[in-house]
Structure 1
Amino acid sequence: MIVDSLTHLLEDKAAFGPKIQRGLQFLRDTDFTGKAAGRHEVDEELFYFINEYETKAAEECFWEAHRKNLDLHFILEGKEKIGYAAIERLDVKEEYSDEKDAVFFTGTLESTVAVSSGDLMICYPQDGHMTAIMAGEKEAVRKVVLKIKI
């Protein structure tokens, strides 16, 4: 898991391979204003979701991880906490679904990161993550979740 601002991550070109660099550049170069919530196709290696929701208590959120795609969570508006745990520390609740590219877990929330507009979190296959957690009070969040095929 990596968390930073999109601006800082774009400056550190040596830290990422070409697929992640391409994803970062896509996020920088795309105007998401007016894009509808839901799935949007880019090409064979990239697609993204525009997610809009209100944050909630951690008890109402869920753990997940992916195997075929990296997740780049780019916050457009609002603020949320995202929980993190190595998948080895979580218990499988729902076995991996190839169709959803997701495995769902249960486990204790021990570590969270607060992210807001302009922040980006990169989740790798070994990164269990729990999104939409309130950072203080309930708040509307609009974000892009860019999926990069690995």
Structure 2
Amino acid sequence: MIVDTLANRHLYTKLHPRLASALAHLAETDFTAKAVGNYELDGKNLFVIVNDYETKPREVGPFEAHQQYIDVQYVVSGAEEFGYLPLADQTPSKPYYDKHDYAEFDFESNKQAAAFIPLKTGMFAIFFPGDIHMPGTFATPQKVRKVVIKVRI
């Protein structure tokens, strides 16, 4: 997992060529003017999800992990926290669902091991397979516009 701002995106461009494209797209696009929805950049290899939502309490959402994609989550406006813990001996509460590339992990079973990290306007988080994460949380509801770029590994 990586948390940073777009000013430092150059530090991560050599990790994966499509990750470099994702970070460049975030830096070059005005997402305040984009409509909510999904946009392909390179078919199923690289695509963008623009979403507006209100954060939820930690206790409401499950953790998730992916196998086929890296998540690049960028906050355009607002603020949230995300829960994070490395995938180790956890057992999913819902098995891996190949079609949507995720497995869910129960909050109650993992809350003691999780760290909750703020993600504010202009910041991004990169979640690799093996990074269990719970995006979109905050103690009090907050309006957020966030872009998620899915990067096939």
Aligned position for 1:113: 117
Aligned position for 2:39: 40
Whether 1:3 aligns to 2:3 is yes
Aligned partner of residue 9 in structure 2, secondary structure: helix
Amino acid at match of 1:115: L
- In the alignment, the residues of structure 1 paired with residue 90 and residue 30 of structure 2 have an alpha-carbon distance, to the nearest angstrom, of 36
Whether 1:27 aligns to 2:29 is no
Q: Which runs of 5+ in 1 are unaligned?
A: none
1:9-67 Cα shifts (integer Å, max 9, x gaps): 23x25653322111111111122233222322121321011121111210111111111
**Please, what TM-score do these two structures have when normalized by structure 1?**
0.91
- In the alignment, the residues of structure 1 paired with residue 29 and residue 13 of structure 2 have an alpha-carbon distance, to the nearest angstrom, of 22
**Contact 1:49/1:146 (8 A) holds in 2:** yes
Aligned partner of residue 9 in structure 1, secondary structure: helix
Aligned partner of residue 93 in structure 2, secondary structure: strand
**Contact 2:84/2:134 (8 A) holds in 1:** yes
**Please, what TM-score do these two structures have when normalized by structure 2?**
0.89
Aligned partner of residue 51 in structure 1, secondary structure: strand
1:148 to 139, 147, 151: 151
Aligned partner of residue 67 in structure 2, secondary structure: coil
* Number of residue pairs aligned between Structure 1 and Structure 2: 148
Inter-CA distance 38–90: structure 2 relative to 1 (3 Å threshold): farther
Inter-CA distance 29–14: structure 2 relative to 1 (3 Å threshold): closer
**Contact 2:63/2:104 (8 A) holds in 1:** yes
Structure 1 consecutive aligned stretches of length 4 or more whose deviation exceeds 4 Å: none
Whether 1:88 aligns to 2:113 is no
- In the alignment, the residues of structure 2 paired with residue 17 and residue 99 of structure 1 have an alpha-carbon distance, to the nearest angstrom, of 23
Residue 130 of structure 1, CA deviation: 0.2
- In the alignment, the residues of structure 2 paired with residue 77 and residue 16 of structure 1 have an alpha-carbon distance, to the nearest angstrom, of 26
- In the alignment, the residues of structure 1 paired with residue 62 and residue 41 of structure 2 have an alpha-carbon distance, to the nearest angstrom, of 27
- In the alignment, the residues of structure 1 paired with residue 47 and residue 74 of structure 2 have an alpha-carbon distance, to the nearest angstrom, of 13
Q: Which runs of 5+ in 2 are unaligned?
A: none
- In the alignment, the residues of structure 1 paired with residue 42 and residue 79 of structure 2 have an alpha-carbon distance, to the nearest angstrom, of 29
Identity %: 34
Task: Kindly report which structure 2 residues correspond to 1:120-135, keeping only aligned pairs within 5 A, or say none.
Answer: 120-134=124-138
**Contact 1:50/1:145 (8 A) holds in 2:** yes
CA RMSD of aligned residues (A): 1.6
